[in-house]
Amino acid sequence: MIRLFQKTFLLALAIVGAGNGASGFSLLGPFDTWQTTAIGYNSPGTFAFADIGGPMNRGEEYRWNERTITYGFDKSFVDYFGQKGVTEVNKAVAILNNLPPFSSMSASLNEFPTDSKRINYQAYAVYLLDLKSQALQLLVEQMGLASPERYVWCLRSRIVQPSGTATNYTVIMRNFDPVNLFPSKYVNNVLYTYQVVEFPAPNSFSDAIEKAVDPFASFTSVASGNVIAEDPFGSLLLSALVYGEFYTGLTRDDIGGLRYLYSARGPYAQVNEENLIPGTVGASSAGSSPWSSAGAAGASNAVVNLAPRPGVDKIVFRQVSAPFGIFNGVLITNTYTGTYYDVRGVLLRQNVQRVSLVGPDILFKAGDLGVGSPSGVPFERARTFTTVNNSDLNTSGTLLAGPGEILPTVSITFGNIGPFIINQFPNFMTEASPASEGWVWGSFDGTTNVPFVYPAGPNGKGTSIQVLQQQVLNQ
């Protein structure tokens, strides 16, 4: 009977998927042993950002197992971006907090758009990058999603034959349809093929480069954010969120990936053996025991640490603050309700808390992040990614790349170098004749409001956009 139900369910998913268009999401985890720079992972310094992990197979996913994630802003962020920057990041957080529980979503996810990207042409003209949209992408990444457009196709190996006359490449897929969970060539209805490319020195490496079959298509998933895509001629192209573009929300495939990671019940729920975050203890709630049954059985009076756990179904980001953004000596308590299965397969819940935390789970910062080599273009952002691999708890025998947990503390740092110019020898050596203008942080939307340009001044206002326009026009 169970086997018949499974076959019926898979057939139903296939039918739903066939009428849903074609989609895909990719899962993020720490680099597996074979994911080396030589075959396109942990990207070299010519990229506008450094990779923090690689694409995972199904069953090797990484996620948070606490429902409430705290975040805050340190002094460096407040000094550069001001309250306006805090407000913009909070807008990104609100998009995630306003999502319904993942288990309540439709099977097809057709209630979500396949493209949420818009453009502000005034911001585009002066090379503005939208702070809110960049923060949204980084938060989605920290929730466990990699870029699907980048990892539709990727290399598993590159083997030079003994004769030296040929090189063999094994190309695999790390992109999965959110409805039927099969490997997918599509992301938000865009079909991707690939070309294997050998990139020359100084950063020699090979990669399977995605190419949209529709030449007018562009990357749409928020998880791809500001990902760089290489073209077959060796140049590097911004293929996702470019100057002047901003997100209005998540796309269907972003939601599909998060549903796979965090559903608490139903066919998409992933039940993994997990420990609570270190330092978690029991917490009481008013008028009741901290331990209660989510099913038909009673509950234990001790904190259950290691247990099979489903997703938390809905993550809530909660801002915590400190005077002037200085968290030294500021203690934070994070209380939430967690669920787990006992040995009988009964779902139980317990109120737990992490106490005396010095700083939030995710801390936003600002700083000079250095420059990419050999391009010399300053890095836009940097982030940390802390994980623990629980493969030994979930499988017998072979150690896999996952599943695992994402752990605090995470730092997300935005570059604060300010407006800059790229000069180039021999013909572009003056302010009046630059090779190009550099990116600048801004905040903008689809209205006629003038874009806000960072850094923020003591009066709460940004740099004048007219100054940037004059710089672009060399006036």
Quickly count: other Cβ atoms within 10 Å of residue 40's Cβ.
25
Q: Which of 376, 417, 368, 367 is nearest to 46 (CA)?
A: 376
Across residues 118-135, what is the average pLDDT?
Answer: 94
The pLDDT of residue 467: 67
The pLDDT of residue 238: 39
Strand extents, DSSP E, 9-130:
26-29, 54-56, 62-63, 68-73, 117-119, 128-130
Asked which of 205-219, 407-421, 452-466 is least confident by mean pLDDT, the reply is: 452-466
Residue 371 has pLDDT above 90, yes or no: no
The pLDDT of residue 46: 43
The pLDDT of residue 431: 84
Q: Is residue 390 a part of any domain in this protein?
A: yes
Model pLDDT for residues 229-262, shown as the tens digit of each residue: 444 444 434 357 888 999 999 999 999 999 999 9
- Could you tell me if 70 and 362 are in contact, meaning their C-beta atoms sit under 8 angstroms apart? yes
Percent of the chain at pLDDT above 90? 61
> Per DSSP, what are the bridge partners of residue 121?
none
Q: Is residue 335 a part of any domain in this protein?
A: no
Q: Is residue 287 a part of any domain in this protein?
A: no
The pLDDT of residue 164: 77
- Confidence label for 460 from pLDDT (cuts 50, 70 and 90): confident
Model pLDDT for residues 45-97, shown as the tens digit of each residue: 444 457 899 999 999 999 999 999 999 999 999 999 999 999 999 999 999 99
Q: Give how far Cα 468 sits from Cα of 95, 97, 186, 243, 465, Å.
A: 30, 35, 39, 14, 5
Indicate the number of domains in the chain.
1
- Could you tell me if 167 and 161 are in contact, meaning their C-beta atoms sit under 8 angstroms apart? yes
Model pLDDT for residues 173-193, shown as the tens digit of each residue: 999 999 999 999 999 999 999
- Could you tell me if 167 and 157 are in contact, meaning their C-beta atoms sit under 8 angstroms apart? no
List the domain range (segments joined by +) for residue 242.
Answer: 19-271+310-320+360-472
Question: Token pair 């992408």 is at which residue?
Answer: 137
Highest mean pLDDT among 167-171, 198-202, 331-335, 392-396: 167-171
The β-bridge relationship of strands 440-443 and 190-199 is unpaired
pTM of the model: 0.89
Distance, in Å, from the CA atom of 343 to the CA atom of 348, rounded to the nearest integer, reads: 11
Percent of the chain at pLDDT above 70? 84
- SS3 assignment, position 222: helix
Q: Is residue 278 a part of any domain in this protein?
A: no
Asked which of 89-93, 287-291, 315-319, 406-410 is least confident by mean pLDDT, the reply is: 287-291
Across residues 17-40, what is the average pLDDT?
Answer: 84
Distance, in Å, from the CA atom of 471 to the CA atom of 473, rounded to the nearest integer, reads: 5
Across residues 100-122, what is the average pLDDT?
Answer: 96
Please give the single-letter amino acid code of residue 88: E
The pLDDT of residue 239: 52
Across residues 18-45, what is the average pLDDT?
Answer: 83
Structure tokens at 251: 């796309």
Structure tokens at 237: 């192209």
Q: Is residue 302 a part of any domain in this protein?
A: no
The pLDDT of residue 374: 64
Across residues 355-376, what is the average pLDDT?
Answer: 85
- SS3 assignment, position 84: helix
Model pLDDT for residues 302-334, shown as the tens digit of each residue: 689 999 999 999 999 999 999 889 988 788 888
Q: CB neighbours of 94 closer than 8 A, spacing ≥ 6?
A: none
End-to-end CA distance of the chain: 76
Higher pLDDT, 312 or 354: 312
The pLDDT of residue 471: 62
Q: Is residue 447 a part of any domain in this protein?
A: yes
Secondary-structure percent of the chain, ordered helix, strand, coil, rounded to 5: 20, 30, 50
DSSP 8-state symbol, 38:
G
The pLDDT of residue 137: 96
Q: Is residue 333 a part of any domain in this protein?
A: no
The pLDDT of residue 44: 56
Distance, in Å, from the CA atom of 452 to the CA atom of 463, rounded to the nearest integer, reads: 8
The pLDDT of residue 416: 94
Please give the single-letter amino acid code of residue 209: I
Residue 228 has pLDDT above 70, yes or no: no
Strand extents, DSSP E, 213-306:
228-230, 236-238, 245-247, 272-274, 280-282, 291-293
The pLDDT of residue 10: 41
Give 14-19 contacts, CB < 8 A, sequence gap 24+.
Answer: 14/180, 16/107, 16/108, 16/179, 16/180, 17/177, 17/179, 17/180, 17/182, 19/108
Across residues 441-469, what is the average pLDDT?
Answer: 86
Q: Is residue 115 a part of any domain in this protein?
A: yes
